[in-house]
Amino acid sequence: MNADVSRKRLHVIQGKFLVSDQPDVVLTTILGSCVAACLRDPVAGVGGMNHFLLPGNANGGGSGEATRYGVHLMELLINALLQKGARKGRLEAKLFGGAQTMSRLSDVGRKNGIFAEKFLGDEGISVVSSSLGGDLGRKVEFWPVSGRARQNILSGNETLKAVAREQPVAPKPAPADEVEFF
């Protein structure tokens, strides 16, 4: 029997984070230009992963919009780890993603990677490994208790599918015959 079969796989989607102290949990995500920060406290035996679309913050956007931004998700992830017994001074990080998946657009992937490295440096959190940049997407698996991480580089077609999932969806306007109450 494959050892991974007994593991509980939890997928971290764009704009979200997950934290676990369970040794059988594997956190997974698929990235294009987005970045995933995998943080853990090896002493407390707890770790987590986030998946953010844009660096910085929402600058006054609503809370739904804020979840796409790195600063918001980094703070949420760190706070959730602290609530599970982690200590900030013991946290270690692994970073993934930040590909330039569309050459005609600004390199938001590079900006995401730079943001994540700077944020963690400013917070005094050591980046023990990273795989940032390039032009192909990645599938990432992270075992939050042990800190083990594995990535698979996606093919060009798989990267295009990942990029399509990363595009922000604008809210649909209400039809003209409907009334919206606030």
- Give the residue numbers annotated as catalytic, written as ranges: 34
- Distance between first and last Cα of the chain: 55
The DSSP code sequence of 114-179 is HHHHHHHHHTT-EEEEEEE-SSS-EEEEE-TTT--EEEEEPPHHHHHHHHHHHSPPPPPPPPTT--
Residues 6+ apart with CB under 8 A from 126: 91, 92, 93, 120
User: Which of these, 80, 18, 15, 107, lies nearest to 52 by C-alpha position?
Assistant: 15
Would you give the DSSP letter of residue 14?
T
144 within 8 A of 84, measured Cβ to Cβ = no
Helix (H) or strand (E) holding 9: strand 8-11
Among candidate residues 120, 115, 56, 131, the one with its CA nearest the CA of residue 88: 120
